[in-house]
């Protein structure tokens, strides 16, 4: 057996044993998308993090270890459904996501604002002010911006659908080009 095959077999056994023994708190995998490589991470409760390569995947893994649990392991199988749904989304075949979410990386008003984002339909946008108006703090426009900027579940929780009041697209955690791509993908004029 080659060194690579031996390492793969050991990694598989480690993942299997960790899952069996309840020692796998955060599973992760990477996927290739039209906007670059992305990291997906999940706990037993659900998808906890979606990260863009521009965020630094090693840094994201360290944040997960610090904020969720140090027991983080490459275990792609736990994320098969999320990866499949994202593939279908990027292919233009899926408008919504049906996967459990773990909200532990957002709390208070940020979590409320992010949950409101899930009400913004595919192919539509809302301004930060419109999102704020639908929350318990209708004047918290800047706080909605902060919630979007720190959204741990971009794309799945569609912060890319939030724009400035003047209709301009505004900033995005994954970069302006990624936001443009996502909004264009969802555009009614898209094929």
- As separate numbers, helices (DSSP H) first and strands (DSSP E) second, the chain gives 7, 6
- What is the per-residue pLDDT for 170? 84
> Among all residues, which ones are annotated catalytic?
159
Q: Which CATH class is domain 3-90?
A: alpha beta
Q: Give Cβ neighbours of residue 181 (< 8 Å, ≥ 6 apart).
A: 34, 35
- What is the per-residue pLDDT for 62? 97
- What is the per-residue pLDDT for 115? 96
Between the CA of residue 178 and those of 77, 111, 151, 170, 173, what are the distances in Å? 26, 23, 15, 12, 9
Alpha carbon distance 29, 173 (integer Å): 19
- What is the per-residue pLDDT for 133? 96
Does the pTM exceed 0.85? yes
Walk along the chain (191 residues) and give the pLDDT tens digit of each residue.
777 766 555 566 655 555 666 668 999 999 999 999 999 999 999 999 999 999 999 999 999 999 999 999 999 999 999 999 999 999 999 999 999 999 999 999 999 999 999 999 999 999 999 999 999 999 999 999 999 999 999 999 999 999 998 888 888 999 999 999 999 999 976 44
- Second-level CATH architecture of 108-186: Orthogonal Bundle (1.10)
Q: Give Cβ neighbours of residue 160 (< 8 Å, ≥ 6 apart).
A: 154, 172, 174, 178, 179, 182, 183
Alpha carbon distance 139, 132 (integer Å): 6
CB atoms within 10 A of CB 123: 14
Token pair of 143 as six digits: 């706080």
Taking the domains of the chain in order of start, what are their residue ranges?
3-90, 108-186
């Amino acid at each position: 057996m080659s060194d690579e095959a031996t390492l793969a077999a050991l990694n598989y056994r480690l993942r299997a044993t960790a899952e069996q023994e309840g020692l796998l708190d955060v599973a992760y995998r990477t996927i290739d998308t039209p906007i670059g490589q992305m990291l997906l991470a999940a706990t037993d409760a659900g998808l906890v993090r979606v990260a863009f390569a521009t965020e630094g995947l090693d840094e994201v893994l360290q944040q997960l270890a610090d904020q969720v649990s140090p027991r983080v392991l490459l275990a792609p199988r736990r994320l098969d459904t999320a990866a499949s749904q994202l593939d279908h989304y990027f292919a233009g075949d899926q408008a919504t996501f049906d996967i459990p979410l773990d909200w532990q990386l957002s709390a208070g008003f940020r979590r409320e604002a992010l949950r409101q984002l899930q009400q913004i339909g595919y192919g539509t946008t809302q301004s930060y002010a419109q999102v704020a108006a639908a929350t318990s703090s209708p004047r918290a426009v800047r706080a909605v911006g902060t919630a979007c900027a720190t959204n741990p579940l971009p794309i799945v929780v569609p912060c890319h659908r939030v724009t400035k009041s003047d209709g301009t697209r505004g900033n995005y955690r994954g970069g302006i080009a990624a936001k443009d791509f996502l909004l264009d993908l969802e555009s009614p004029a898209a094929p």
